[in-house]
């Protein structure tokens, strides 16, 4: 399978890469969206982390009048249940699997790979990470929802995967109810997600960046 183009940020000079974070952007953005956040995470200088920020393909998006934009899948209706094109979402998850495979080929142990995503990217991250057949380091789901909770085939090797979920209490795009529903669905599956809520809209905020840094340090430290 072809590997998606991506923005990559390598570990500092002299530090060997021994971990990877594959971070998916939201609807209408691209891989450059979260790259500027890396220095703000202020992770320990000795961490050998490669950040991979892939670009979604551009497709027509129904809720935006069919306008062509970067998207991991089509959203057909903007209701609380999020009518999405699951076939496209599964294709995007397969592309993430290919990126994970490439990191493993480049020498990173699968147990040192985090899959992260914001909004649409988070929905793909749930599907991709939980269905991957080798143990992963964790899932970081930001301002998102578990679109395939009713259909995902969870691989048993992921049964203890750490999961961090962050959501804004004033999010007008993906209501916090969807983040809380994700927590409930994951708990029913036997997972123990860590949930953080912030007084923000559909974005990131400084206290959240601190929490992300702490979680990554624990997960990959």
Q: Is residue 157 part of a domain?
A: yes
Residue 83 — pLDDT band, cuts 50, 70, 90?
confident
Residue 3, pLDDT above cutoff 80: yes
**Candidate list 33, 125, 171, 182, residue with the active-site label:** 171
CA 131 vs CA 38, 136, 139, 162: distances in Å: 27, 10, 12, 14
What is the tens place of the pLDDT at every residue in 148-169? Answer: 999 999 999 999 999 999 999 9
Report the number of distinct structural domains present in the chain.
1
What angle do the packed helices 86-105 and 120-131 form, to 10 degrees? 60
Q: Is residue 102 part of a domain?
A: yes
**Candidate list 119, 131, 143, 182, residue with the active-site label:** 119
**Candidate list 83, 197, 202, 213, residue with the active-site label:** 202
Q: Is residue 155 part of a domain?
A: yes
Write the CB contacts of 13 (distance below 8 Å, at least 6 apart in sequence). Answer: none
Is position 202 annotated as part of the catalytic site?
Answer: yes
Residue 176 — pLDDT band, cuts 50, 70, 90?
very high
- Contact predicate 54/5, CB 8 Å: yes
How large is the average pLDDT for residues 37-42? 95
Is position 217 annotated as part of the catalytic site?
Answer: no
Residue 186, pLDDT above cutoff 80: yes
Give pLDDT, residue 81.
Answer: 60
Give the number of other Cβ atoms within 10 Å of residue 49's Cβ.
Answer: 23
Q: Is residue 57 part of a domain?
A: yes
Is position 169 annotated as part of the catalytic site?
Answer: no
pTM of the entire predicted model: 0.96
Q: Is residue 51 part of a domain?
A: yes
CA 92 vs CA 87, 155, 162: distances in Å: 9, 18, 22
Residue 80, pLDDT above cutoff 60: no
Residue 208, pLDDT above cutoff 70: yes
Q: Is residue 1 part of a domain?
A: no
CATH code of 141's domain: 3.40.50.1820
Give the number of other Cβ atoms within 10 Å of residue 109's Cβ.
Answer: 15
Mean pLDDT of the chain: 95
Containing domain of residue 168, as a range?
6-220
- Contact predicate 94/124, CB 8 Å: no
Q: Which tokens in the block code for residue 158?
A: 């992921």
Q: Cα–Cα distance between 52 and 93 in angstroms, integer?
A: 15
Q: Is residue 116 part of a domain?
A: yes
Residue 82 — pLDDT band, cuts 50, 70, 90?
low
Q: Is residue 89 part of a domain?
A: yes
């Amino acid at each position: 399978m072809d590997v998606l183009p991506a923005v990559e940020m390598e570990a500092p000079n002299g530090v060997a890469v021994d971990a990877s974070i594959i971070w998916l952007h939201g609807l209408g953005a691209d891989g450059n969206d979260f790259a500027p956040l890396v220095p703000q995470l202020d992770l320990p200088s000795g961490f050998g982390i490669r950040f991979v920020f892939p670009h979604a393909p551009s497709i027509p998006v129904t809720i935006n009048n069919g306008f062509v934009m970067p998207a991991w899948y089509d959203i057909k209706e903007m209701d609380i249940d999020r009518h999405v094109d699951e076939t496209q979402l599964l294709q995007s998850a397969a592309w993430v699997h290919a990126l994970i495979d490439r990191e493993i080929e480049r020498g990173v142990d699968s147990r040192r790979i985090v899959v992260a995503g914001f909004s649409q990217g988070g929905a793909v991250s749930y599907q991709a990470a939980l269905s991957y057949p080798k143990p992963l380091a964790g899932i970081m789901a930001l301002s998102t929802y578990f679109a395939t909770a009713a259909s995902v085939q969870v691989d048993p090797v992921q049964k203890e995967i750490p999961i961090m979920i962050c959501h804004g209490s004033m999010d007008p795009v993906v209501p916090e109810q969807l983040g809380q529903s994700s927590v409930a669905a994951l708990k029913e599956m036997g997972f123990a997600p860590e949930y953080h809520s912030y007084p923000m809209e559909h974005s990131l905020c400084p206290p959240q960046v601190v929490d992300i840094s702490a979680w990554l340090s624990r997960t990959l430290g």
